[in-house]
């Protein structure tokens, strides 16, 4: 989370500093309307910075994933940038429109304008010609962006509606690029601010075209077939296997992939619940009915159905140098730990006699109960040499940090790997931080909260 905040604020601070360096007199103006002009410029630049970085992250690029901490963290940053861009765009719109309303109501008096100076170049003359158009379509693109971002943020709206409409933000963004290029002060383009904005707008515009062409992650997609389905009605959980004959590069336990089934292109991320064995090229996914998309899966999936898999993604890969690890899987958050246990079991068979490097305690807390599912989990834990602690909320009560510390006396030497409800994870993180654990380095948490 610290890196997400750092990137978010650093991007805004960079553009703000470059703007002030390009126009140091902007905030020393006399009168409201000159100040309004400066505020329109900086608010628009900051809004486009947020939108541009968000559009670049929409490509799911590999190069920043490890530094940010995984695609789940990149998506959280993407969300913050979208909200930040929306707020700054509203501020920009209010600075642009508000004074006009105030003049209309008689609250402000517009200063008289002298004759406009002649254009200093052909470029300036062209930009002046397009100014009215840029203002008009930019305003409508702003309204469209507000609506589409609202659809993305309101979880009651179906995942399919979100997925099908979210790409149209790319079109609104391209219109706003035109708006920015025409209306940004011409002298800015010859400054470092202009260089940074040109690079951002160009990269993000290319990303927008990829999104509109539905080619995001196209080179990382492989074809597969659904070969097995098992439904656990007590848990409202579906387990499915997808055979991948060729093309899958392999994955680490804890990573996830985007899965598309049938004729639609509604890709949805799911954690991979199996270790990778090239001799048996198969991926297992375990999904719980948490939203409209996952509720439909037991009805629409069938054996023999084609599927497309994109990935792998994620850095929740259990890689650290701690002598002990504590795993916490809340509900369906158990899936990455299933994959890791299978990998450890395979390693134990392949390297008989090799001493264990890490001791692991797995806490699985669940509000629902299935004897079959728990029996499979116990078998996986035994094969991997993992100490398993299963807690049924109705029978055993809630899992707390104190309960974990009592069960694992040497918890100070451990790292914690958590996957489950975000609020539960945040509470445990605060609890262990208060107990002296360096959570910034040792508390690892998946941040996905998809419908």
Residue at a domain's end among 159, 192, 212? 212
**Mean pLDDT, rounded, for 162-183:** 92
Q: What is the pLDDT of residues 259-278, one digit of tens each?
A: 998 766 678 889 999 999 99
Residues 17 and 98 in one domain: yes
- Total domains in the fold of the chain: 3
CATH of the domain at 422: 3.40.50.80
Q: What is the pLDDT of residue 118?
A: 65
Residues 274 and 404 in one domain: no
Residues 171 and 265 in one domain: no
d(CA 10, CA 238) in angstroms, rounded, equals 42
Q: Which residues contact 56 (CB under 8 A, 6 or more apart)?
A: 203, 204, 207
CATH of the domain at 205: 1.20.120
Q: What is the pLDDT of residue 313?
A: 93
Q: What is the pLDDT of residue 288?
A: 87
**Mean pLDDT, rounded, for 112-136:** 79
Q: What is the pLDDT of residues 212-256, one digit of tens each?
A: 999 999 899 999 999 999 999 888 899 999 999 899 999 999 999
Q: What is the pLDDT of residues 395-422, one digit of tens each?
A: 989 999 999 999 999 999 999 999 999 8
Q: Of residues 438 and 450, which shows the higher confidence score?
A: 438
Examine residue 451 and state whether it is found in any structural domain, yes or no. Answer: no
Decide if 317 contacts 265 (C-beta within 8 A).
Answer: no
Determine the structural domain holding residue 147 and report its residue range.
Answer: 2-112+119-212
Examine residue 399 and state whether it is found in any structural domain, yes or no. Answer: yes
Residues 236 and 352 in one domain: no
Residues 66 and 207 in one domain: yes
**Mean pLDDT, rounded, for 66-94:** 93
> Tokens 């299963």 identify what position?
390
Q: What is the pLDDT of residues 362-377, one digit of tens each?
A: 999 998 888 988 999 9
Residues 133 and 160 in one domain: yes
Is 90 exceeded by the pLDDT of residue 327? yes
d(CA 217, CA 318) in angstroms, rounded, equals 25
Residue at a domain's end among 197, 212, 227? 212
Examine residue 450 and state whether it is found in any structural domain, yes or no. Answer: no
Q: What is the pLDDT of residue 16?
A: 97
Residues 264 and 349 in one domain: no
CB atoms within 10 A of CB 87: 14
Q: What is the pLDDT of residue 59?
A: 94
**Mean pLDDT, rounded, for 22-27:** 89
Decide if 227 contacts 241 (C-beta within 8 A).
Answer: yes
Q: What is the pLDDT of residue 353?
A: 63
Residue at a domain's end among 161, 195, 212? 212
């Amino acid at each position: 989370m610290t890196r997400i905040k750092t990137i978010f604020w650093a991007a805004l601070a960079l553009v703000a500093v470059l703007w002030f360096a390009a126009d140091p007199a902007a905030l020393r103006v006399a009168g409201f309307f000159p100040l309004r002009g400066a505020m329109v410029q900086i608010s628009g630049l900051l809004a486009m910075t947020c939108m541009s970085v968000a559009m670049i992250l929409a490509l799911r690029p590999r190069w920043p994933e490890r530094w940010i901490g995984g695609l789940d963290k990149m998506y959280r940053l993407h969300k913050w940038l979208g909200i930040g861009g929306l707020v700054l765009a509203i501020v920009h719109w209010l600075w642009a429109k508000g004074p006009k309303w105030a003049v209309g109501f008689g609250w402000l008096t517009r200063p008289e304008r002298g004759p406009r100076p002649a254009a200093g170049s052909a470029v300036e003359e062209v930009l002046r010609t397009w100014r009215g158009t840029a203002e008009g379509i930019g305003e409508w693109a702003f309204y469209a962006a507000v609506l589409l971002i609202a659809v993305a943020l309101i979880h009651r709206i179906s995942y399919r509606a979100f997925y099908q409409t979210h790409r149209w933000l790319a079109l609104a963004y391209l219109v706003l690029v035109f708006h920015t290029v025409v209306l940004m002060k011409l002298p800015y383009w010859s400054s470092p601010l202009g260089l940074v904005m040109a690079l951002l707008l160009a990269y993000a515009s290319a990303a927008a075209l990829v999104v509109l062409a539905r080619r995001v992650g196209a080179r990382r997609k492989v074809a597969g077939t659904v070969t097995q389905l098992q439904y656990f009605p007590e848990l409202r959980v579906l387990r499915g296997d997808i055979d991948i004959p060729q093309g899958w590069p392999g994955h680490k336990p804890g990573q996830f992939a985007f899965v598309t089934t049938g004729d639609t292109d509604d890709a949805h991320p799911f954690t991979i619940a199996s270790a990778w064995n090239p001799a048996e090229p198969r991926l297992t996914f375990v999904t719980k009915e948490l939203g409209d998309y996952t509720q439909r899966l037991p009805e629409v999936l069938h054996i023999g159905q084609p599927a497309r898999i994109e990935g792998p993604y994620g850095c929740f890969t259990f890689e650290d140098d701690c002598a002990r690890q504590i795993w916490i899987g809340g509900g369906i958050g158990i899936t990455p730990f299933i994959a890791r246990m299978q990998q450890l079991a395979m390693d134990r068979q392949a390297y008989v006699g090799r001493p264990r490097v890490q001791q692991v305690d797995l806490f699985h807390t669940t509000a629902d109960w299935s004897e079959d599912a728990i029996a499979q989990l116990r078998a996986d834990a035994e094969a991997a040499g993992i100490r398993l602690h299963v807690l049924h909320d109705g029978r055993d009560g809630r899992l707390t940090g104190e309960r974990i510390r009592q069960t694992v006396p040497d918890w100070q030497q451990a790292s914690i790997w958590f996957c489950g409800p975000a609020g539960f994870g945040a509470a445990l993180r605060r609890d262990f931080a208060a107990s002296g654990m360096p959570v910034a380095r040792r508390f690892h948490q998946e941040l996905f909260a998809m419908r």
